[in-house]
Each structure stands twice: as structure tokens, then as C-alpha cells.
Amino acid sequence: MNTAEFIDRADLLSKGGTPFLFLVDFEMKQPRIWLPDQVDSNDLLFYINGFTNAAGTKPKTHLSLKAQAITENDYRQRFNKVMQHLRYGNSFLTNLTIKSQIEINTTLQELFYQVNAPYRCWLRNQFLFFSPESFIKISDGKIYAYPMKGTIDATIPDAAAVILNNEKEKAEHVTIVDLIRNDLAQVATEVQVSRFRYLDKIKTDRSAILQVSSEITGKVLPQYQQQIGSLLAALLPAGSVSGAPKKKTVAIIHEAEPDLRGYYTGIFGYFDGRILDSCVNIRFIEQQGDLYYYRSGGGITAQSNWQAEYNEVLQKMYVPVN
């Protein structure tokens, strides 16, 4: 299914009030749609804020995850490419990601049952993600977006104050909030920031982290209320995992990152015939044959320090345990 086919199919289903699941990759080259009764739990497991096809529970094992991240030198070379564009004014914020080989003592299918996140998805022989970040929600004609920008180790003394008072982190968050507001203005009216820079605490296999998010709302334009495919296409790729301005920044990402992202930093969600809920595909483990890779990233601005950004992408290689 190509992008045009995805848009037409999703528009047709939403216009008829027909429920469907959807998965869109970052490059928008291989989107997928499933009707609920077509989903085989041996091929696809999902959990979307309580809506799931994963029956029962599985025995838990003590998780072991060892990561072999790219070297500091490799990361710095990619960082410098991005920073050059930032200094030229080609981008105000660029999300730079890495791909790190890992070793884990369980299968991705088994790990699906052990992680705790509002959004989880396992696709056989391809990936598992456990995302804390909503993309958009639509209910009763209103649209909600929750961009997430800012991560800190919760065990650092006064961690909440440290991240909320950090000028670089604040500037990065403001940039993304402004980008998402502009994105929503394409499909909605009365767009406003209803909550600004609130914190969520996430327990991980190592300790805990704090994540900074905001809530942006609006009223969906009439022409999009029954055209979910067209609405999603207007908003993609997600601003929090691309940057601003979006088109030029995506080109910078393709220059700086050696691998296509695929379904990593794409979106996944469910339309039940009336309500839509979706996420950004982050906290992502990719499978390639017998090898596993953890994909992680962070926002780079002109104020960024490469060492701090490198440490952040390492910190984001975690598993949110129950």
C-alpha cells in the first residue's frame, strides 16, 4: 500500500464509521491498515491505552539488556552535520537519532507482555515499541496533541526544577509546541496550548526518568472529521521527531542519519468508528534476523552540546518495566 492508497482507504473507512488500525512509517513509504477482525495475534500484538488484542498475561523473566551504542566520535560527526545546518539557519531544531545493537534475554513477543507503556506494538520479525508519547487523539470533534520534548534522570537532585529551568530544554520544547500548533492549524480551528510543560515519571529497568510534555487542542475542521487519512497525511511526519521547519529538517535528517527510520518514529493508532487514538513510535527495538537494535534520539538546537546529547540518547535506551 502506498501513501495515496492509504489516504483513500483510511478516508473511506472513517467516512463509513468503520473501525481500523493503522501503522505509518516515518518516510510514508509503507503504511498499513488492518480491520480489527483481520488481526492475527501471532503476527501483531497491540495495546492502545487499554484497548488490546493481547489476552492474559505471561510469566515474567528478569530482563537483561546490554547495548553497544555507536562511538562518541561517530555520534559527534552526525551531530556536527546537523549543527552546521542549524548555524546556517536551515533548521531551528533537528531530531537526530541513532541505531544501537543490543542483546536481550527474551524475545520481543515475550517482552511485549512485560513492559508498561500507554502504547505498545509488536510486529512479528520486525519490531517492538513501548511508547509514552501520544501523537493525536480525536473525540467529539476535538483534536488533542501531546508533544514530548525533554528527558532527565529522575534520581538527579531536584530533577524537575533542573529540566524545567534549563534554557536549552525550554527553547527546544517551545519550538516543538509552536510547530505542532501550526500543524494542527491545518486541520483545526481554535488551536491553543491547554497545558504547557508538565512532567510524567516513567519507571525503567535501570531507575526512572522524567519526561516533559505539553497539550495542544483544537476543533477539527468539518472537511477532516470524516477523512482520517487526509488528516493524518497533513500532520505527518510527527513534529516532535522531525523538527522545524519540517520539510527542510527532514532533508537534514536523511543527510545525517545513515539508515532509513522505517516504522521507527512513524505513528500507530486505532479509529473505533468515532474516536481516534494514536502514538509516535518511539522507545523502539528493531529486529533484523537474529540481531536486535534499539533506536533512540533527541532534539538538537544551536545551543546543544554534543556530549550532553550523546548521553541523552543513551539514557533513552530503556525498558519501562511493570
Going by C-alpha positions, the residue among 314, 294, 271 that lies closest to residue 19 is 271
Topology (CATH level 3) of domain 3-315: Anthranilate synthase (3.60.120)
User: pLDDT tens for residues 258-271?
Assistant: 999 999 999 999 99
Q: What's the pLDDT score for residue 159?
A: 83
Query: Which of 7-11, 111-115, 162-166, 302-306 holds the top average pLDDT?
Result: 7-11
Q: What's the pLDDT score for residue 118?
A: 93
Q: pLDDT class for 72, splitting at 50, 70, 90? A: very high
User: pLDDT tens for residues 28-64?
Assistant: 999 999 999 999 999 999 999 999 999 876 767 778 8
CB 79 within 8 A of CB 300: yes
User: pLDDT tens for residues 2-32?
Assistant: 999 999 999 999 999 999 999 999 999 999 9
Q: Is the pLDDT of residue 170 over 90?
A: no
Q: pLDDT class for 316, splitting at 50, 70, 90? A: confident
Please give the Cα distance from 216 to 197 (Å, whole number): 11
Find all residues with CB under 8 Å of 301, minimum gap 6, and list them.
86, 92, 93, 168, 171, 172, 175
Q: What is the DSSP string of 185-251?
A: TTTEEEEEEEEEEEEEEEE-SSSEEEEEEEEEEEEE-GGGTT-HHHHHHHHPSPGGGSEESHHHHHH
Q: What's the pLDDT score for residue 181?
A: 93
Report the length, in residues, of the chain.
322
Please give the Cα distance from 254 to 260 (Å, whole number): 7
Please give the Cα distance from 115 to 316 (Å, whole number): 15
What is the domain partition of the chain in residue ranges?
3-315
Q: What's the pLDDT score for residue 205?
A: 61
Going by C-alpha positions, the residue among 190, 208, 192 that lies closest to residue 200 is 208
Average pLDDT, stretch 295-312?
Answer: 92
Cα–Cα separations (whole angstroms), residue 179 to 80, 246, 254, 310: 24, 8, 20, 24
- Interior angle at CA 176, CA 192 and CA 273, nearest 5: 60
Going by C-alpha positions, the residue among 302, 319, 321, 249 that lies closest to residue 102 is 319
Q: Is the pLDDT of residue 202 over 80?
A: no
Find all residues with CB under 8 Å of 77, minimum gap 6, and list them.
none
Buried b (16+ CB within 10 A) or exposed e, 18-43: ebbbbbbbbbbeebebbeeeeeeeee
Q: pLDDT class for 310, splitting at 50, 70, 90? A: very high
Going by C-alpha positions, the residue among 240, 229, 252 that lies closest to residue 85 is 252
User: pLDDT tens for residues 212-261?
Assistant: 889 999 999 998 988 999 999 999 999 989 998 999 999 999 999 999 99
Going by C-alpha positions, the residue among 260, 287, 298 that lies closest to residue 25 is 260
CB 284 within 8 A of CB 136: no
Grid cell in block for residue 30: 509503507
